[in-house]
Amino acid sequence: MASNHPEDVPCQRRERLELSAKRAIGRAAASLVQPGETILLDAGTTVLAMAQALPPVPHLTVVTNSVQVLHLLWNRTNLHMVALGGAARPVSGSLTGALAEQALENLRVDRAFLGASGISDKWEVSNRDLEAAAIQRRILKVAHASYLLADHTKFHRTNLAIVSSLSVFTGLITDSGLPARLRKRLQQLLPHVVFA
């Protein structure tokens, strides 16, 4: 089913949607981060919830294309921040385009955490924004492991730009709002599924 959300919902509005689910997902994702890792945090409100829940992790490097994540973690001690360049997209708070994609060519990360606008019945992960989807495809190529952070409202939804098959991801972190049948299917599809 196609998304019925407006094309560009401001980040500040999306942050308030499914707030408790996003916080639970964010806490579960943040608990996976290990000392000494290099992680990549994508732009998006669920990934921002992860950044808000990120505990002090020794010798952590965070790469991001999110202006909000960069601002949130800017003054953290014992944390190395790497911001991708690119074209600023005020509605999503992200940096995208050729400059951001080019920067990723020279990087490798232990884990990437990405959001999505939709997960279709064919298990396709999609985004409303063409440029955001393009950078997410590039992120998947530079990450040793990748996790999709998506609340239950993202399922049975298809948006404009396909990012990848869900099976490309190492794991999925979602909330407990999914029916049992769907939970079981997800556990068959992916090696690591967390229901926060």
Condensed to tens digits (0 to 9), the pLDDT of residues 148-190 reads 999 999 999 999 999 999 999 999 999 999 999 999 999 999 9
**Which amino acid is present at 121?**
D
Residue 7 reports pLDDT greater than 90 = no
**16 confidence band (pLDDT: 50, 70, 90):** low
Count CB-CB contacts under 10 A for residue 8.
12
Considering the chain, what percentage of its residues have pLDDT values greater than 70?
91
Q: What are phi and psi of 179, to 5 degrees?
A: -65, 155
CA atoms within 13 A on the CB side of 1: 8
CB 111 within 8 A of CB 147: yes
- Give the integer Cα–Cα distance in Å for 41 and 51: 8
Q: Where are the alpha helices (DSSP H) in the chain?
A: 11-14, 19-30, 45-53, 67-73, 98-105, 130-142, 180-189
pLDDT value at residue 89: 86
Residue 14 reports pLDDT greater than 60 = no
Residue 4 reports pLDDT greater than 80 = no
First to last CA, the chain: 25
pTM: 0.90
**What is the average per-residue pLDDT within 28-56?**
97
CB 162 within 8 A of CB 124: yes
Selected residue with higher pLDDT from 1 and 180: 180
Range from 29-33, 78-82, 98-102 that averages highest in pLDDT: 29-33
Using alpha carbons only, how large is the chain's radius of gyration in Å?
15
Lowest mean pLDDT among 18-32, 80-94, 95-109, 180-194: 80-94
Considering the chain, what percentage of its residues have pLDDT values greater than 90?
85
Kind and range of the H or E run holding 162: strand 161-165
- Give the integer Cα–Cα distance in Å for 83 and 93: 13
**What is the average per-residue pLDDT within 113-128?**
97
Q: What is the mean pLDDT of the chain?
A: 91
pLDDT value at residue 182: 95
